Amino acid sequence: MSTLPPLPGPGGPPGEEPAEGPASAIVAGTHTPSDSMTRYDKERDIYHCSYGIPSPALTVLDPQRELVVRVDRHSAAVVGFSIPNFTQWHEKHADEDGNFDVDLPAVWPMDQTDVSTSNRAW
């Protein structure tokens, strides 16, 4: 799955007002823009993306992508992700126009995940 950041303006990059509701586009994978909700928490500097209505999930640190992935505990389906320290992450990963992609599998490889470093509360 890939996602693009929200456009400048409300819900845009750091320094802009936080988004309320759908603000980014899914460009690949099994999710469409209408079932993705994004929000930038300016106070905590965290970018959140949920595929569908946010629901309880296992959170897994993904050091390769430098973000936190939310995974359904029963199906291992990826249900969203969060990027802590988004301003710093964005500077490192965005292109010159401020766009970035987050490519995640539709189903998280739980057999390759250390669940001792995962938790439910994010």
For the chain, the domains span 2-112
- Average pLDDT value for the chain: 75
Q: What is the mean pLDDT of residues 44-73?
A: 93
In contact, 51 and 28? CB cutoff 8 Å: no
User: Residue 23 in 3-state DSSP?
Assistant: coil
Q: What is the mean pLDDT of residues 18-46?
A: 61
pTM of the model as a whole: 0.67
In contact, 15 and 98? CB cutoff 8 Å: no
> Does residue 47 have a pLDDT over 90?
yes
In contact, 67 and 89? CB cutoff 8 Å: yes
Comparison of pLDDT for 121 and 98, the residue scoring more? 98
